[in-house]
Amino acid sequence: MNPVISPDQLNTFFGYLPLLLGIAIVVVSYAALRSQSGSVGAPIRQSFACAKCGRRAAREHMVPVTHTGAVSWYCGHCDSH
């Protein structure tokens, strides 16, 4: 015997299909973006390298020296002045 799907079952299936696909898209998008939104924390502290010795330190511990529009950062040990 060949199984036959009734028109009511077919209409019910295609009636709920867009709703189920929409829910699946929302769930997959939420799962993909959940890890991205959770990783937002404190920003990484910006550091600068000394132009003379290469030592890295926070901006507060560096001395800026301007050379015709460019800025060079020097640590406290290599201050160019």
63-67/56-58 β-pairing: unpaired
Whether residue 54 is contained in a domain is answered as yes
- How many whole angstroms from its chain centre is CA 30? 15
Whether residue 62 is contained in a domain is answered as yes
Whether residue 39 is contained in a domain is answered as no
Whether residue 26 is contained in a domain is answered as no
Whether residue 61 is contained in a domain is answered as yes
* 37 membership: H or E segment, kind and range: helix 7-38
Whether residue 12 is contained in a domain is answered as no
pLDDT digits (tens, 9 = 90+) for 27-39: 999 888 877 755 5
Whether residue 60 is contained in a domain is answered as yes
pLDDT digits (tens, 9 = 90+) for 39-61: 555 556 778 888 889 888 888 88
Taking the whole predicted model, whether its pTM rises above 0.75 is answered as no
- Number of domains the chain contains: 1
Q: Which domain holds residue 73?
A: 49-81
